[in-house]
């Protein structure tokens, strides 16, 4: 029994009226657009402490991060941030405002990070975390942070706390 040929977008070409290569179906002309991934998360505080999660998954297993992850289809960014805190730290949180939007073009990511406070008494390691902990500022394991954007968000959070300036931040200028 012969197998059916692959159908759908299987040819990389520049479609008419476009300016970059896309995967296109040669039979029907359907174009499969590849778009950036959206990451949502939050810097969660409990008094003067911040919540960090030690990653149980790659990339950067064993390093500390914010409760954050990919936005799901049909989910708002706030709902995604709430879900990620629950999944990674078993934490009920209350979103207080937008902290930052980071653009990570090399990874095709846009990261939306909120300011939040712990709204329930429980934190515990979820399936994607080895452990979770509330850190005082001078206890944060800066050399063990999983990603540059975790460092940026923590520093932007400290800046917001110090100044009260609630304007959303973006990538630091290097």
Q: How many CB atoms lie within 10 A of CB 44?
A: 30
In a domain, 147, yes or no: yes
Paired tokens of 96: 């207080």
Q: Identify whether 140 is part of a domain.
A: yes
In a domain, 64, yes or no: yes
Total domains in the chain come to 1
* Position 55 in a domain: yes
Q: Is 73 part of a structural domain of the chain?
A: yes
Q: How confident is the model at residue 173 (pLDDT cuts 50, 70, 90)?
A: confident
Least reliable range by pLDDT among 1-15, 29-43, 78-92, 152-166:
1-15
User: CA–CA separation, 75 vs 83, rounded Å?
Assistant: 10
Which structural domain range is residue 50 located in?
A: 37-163
169 belongs to a structural domain: no
Does 41 fall in a domain? yes
pLDDT 10s digits, 29-76: 899 999 999 999 999 999 999 999 999 999 999 999 999 999 999 999
Instruction: List helix spans (H) across 27-172.
Output: 77-89, 148-163
| Structure confidence by residue, pLDDT tens digits, 87-104 | 999 999 999 999 999 999
The answer to whether the beta carbons of residues 16 and 24 sit under 8 Å apart is no
Calculated CA dihedral for residues 20, 25, 29, 32, nearest 10 degrees: -50
Q: 5 falls in which pLDDT band (50, 70, 90)?
A: low
User: Would you say residue 123 has pLDDT above 50?
Assistant: yes
CATH number of the domain within which 154 lies = 3.90.79.10
pLDDT given at position 1: 46
Alpha carbons 109 and 44: distance in angstroms, whole number: 21
Cα angle, residue 70 at apex, residues 81 and 47 outer, rounded to 5°:
30
């Amino acid at each position: 029994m012969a197998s059916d040929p692959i159908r759908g977008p299987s040819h990389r070409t520049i479609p008419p009226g476009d300016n970059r290569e896309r995967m296109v179906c040669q039979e029907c002309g359907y174009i499969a657009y590849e778009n950036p991934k959206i990451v949502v998360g939050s810097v969660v505080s409990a008094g003067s402490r911040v919540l960090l999660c030690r990653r149980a998954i790659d990339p950067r297993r064993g390093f500390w991060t914010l409760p954050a992850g990919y936005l799901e289809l049909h989910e708002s960014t706030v709902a995604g941030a709430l879900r990620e805190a629950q999944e990674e730290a078993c934490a009920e949180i209350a979103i207080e405002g937008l902290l930052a939007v980071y653009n990570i073009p090399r990874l095709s990511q846009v990261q939306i990070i909120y300011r939040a406070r712990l709204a329930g008494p429980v934190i515990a390691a979820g399936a994607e975390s080895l452990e979770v902990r509330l850190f005082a500022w001078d206890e944060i394991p800066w050399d063990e942070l999983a990603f540059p954007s975790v460092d940026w968000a923590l520093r932007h959070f400290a800046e917001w706390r110090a100044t009260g300036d609630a304007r959303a931040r973006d990538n630091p200028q290097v």
